[in-house]
Structure 1
Amino acid sequence: MPHDLDRIRVGSAPDSWGVWFPDDPRQVPWERFLDEVAEAGYAWIELGPYGYLPTDPARLTEEVARRGLKVSAGTVFTGLHRGPAVWDDTWAHVSQVAALTQAMGARHLVVIPSFWRDDRTAEILEPSELTAEQWGHLARGMERLGRQVKETYGLDIVVHPHADTHIDTEAHVARFLDATDSGSVGLCLDTGHYAYCGGDSVRLIETYGERIGYLHLKQVDPAVLAEVVARGLPFGPAVAGGVFQEPPHGVPELGPVLEAAQKLGVDLFAIVEQDMYPCEPDKPLPIAERTRRFLRSCGA
């Protein structure tokens, strides 16, 4: 019998409908995403890439409300390891997304580090390992971002370890958390990305539980992942090759992850994010419905 995971609030995101970009002819229209995410049984959504959903707060409020939906977070990409020189451009972008996120009544901003290699072409954009100086820039920059986002927009930032970024493996995640202030910087644990990079989600929750402010739920296919690692494939082709698997058929097991999160004793969003870009337009809804049923069977 599954435990009642009463501290876990389940949602989904445009990502689970194959949406990576504000505008792309291979993506489903935003109206269809909103219709189908509600039909699949989710109450919470993320904004996805800024500009995919309407950016006028009044219009977006009307569109989500009439479908019985609410917004849990917005998302930004940042390259703060590059130092103070990038702050002004970073803040201009973050402010745009944070303002809409705040207007939608959400409380979180998911912050993803920039990619060190192009996720489509595999072009190496910069070294995969940061220097000590760059780690310092990253830690201080994220703390500054966390403070300023909180002061200006009332949002908590949650940094998202992500494949092909500098915050990916267990060692890198631990180094980042140890270098940053828990009062300014939380963590968005994405179970799929963490497994993709060799991490153990349950162990991370048990070790750094006070830093976990948000969850993304996804699983990887171990066989596909092994090929990705062996061939050194970048993230985009790995996704197109099916590295992320519909639960409960991949790893990590989500039941134990959710139970570990429940034991933290705090309310947490757990947003399903099954990367599928690009995908056929009729593919996401049945997967989303099955995933919602599976999560209910876990008690969420």
Structure 2
Amino acid sequence: MTVASDVPPLRLPAAETTASTTAESTAETADAGPHLPTRIRPRRHPGRWATAVLALFLLAVALHSVLSNHAFQWGVVARYFTSAGVLDGLVLTLWLTAVVTGLGFALGAGIAALRISANPVLRSLAWGYLWVFRATPVLVQLLLWYNIGLLYPTLSIGVPFGPTLASVSTVNLLGGTATAVIGLTLHEAAYAAEVVRGGLLAVDAGQHEAAAALGLGRLRTLLRIVLPQAMRSIVPAAGNMLIGTLKSTSIVSVLAVVDLLYSVQIVYNRTYQVIPLLLVAALWYLVVTSVLTVGQFFMERRVGRSNR
């Protein structure tokens, strides 16, 4: 005879059930032996290694071809690399680079200020300047400035529509070096203006509003707040422009300016050793460009650290 019971079956709480299950799992793991960590193997890239080996092999072949080719005349390169004429041309090239870069960025900063001006006339004139000097090749500009005497034989100062007080002949006024400075500076200013304008526009407009709320003037806001932040965008582009200006100075050799390239041309026109003398110029450009690149790297680090 079965007696029905009203007592419900006993149920363990969830925590006790979980603890019991965990204990059983731990006991089974202990019985199975010590747990070994899973070893993760990196994915192999045979194609990447094969490509690297092939690239190094081709580089070695190219270097061997250049160094073993007697037509390069490396002895002549070594003899003229530090000659007095070449070093004089190098000094003039560095001087041109420094002067053109400094004057170009000074003029370009003024043009950039006009480009972001609220005056539509000044803004349009600045845009027209950029359009003209960026749309024409720099060699054409230099040749036009060199032959300015054909357009304006004399430059005079006097009363408008009245008597002339003083005049000077443009043929004697502009030589090769002066023409190079003027032409390269005007060309450089057009690109420097866009670099400066881009850096200024990269600064958030809230910075201007905060400075105005503090009662700071526009000039002080520009020099103390906006410009230091804009330098993070200006310095990399300015460094590239400096290197480009260094190489662009070689164009002044068509004006008989005794720069680095013209100096080696004088030598190989006398000795007919064209290739080794061109290598001398190329190596000097490579050395100076490398120094400027290192300087740009440290300048970018300093500017970036100061704006964090």
Taking structure 1 as the reference length, the TM-score comes to 0.24
Between Structure 1 and Structure 2, the one with more helix by share is 2
More strand by share: 1
Radius of gyration: which is bigger? 2
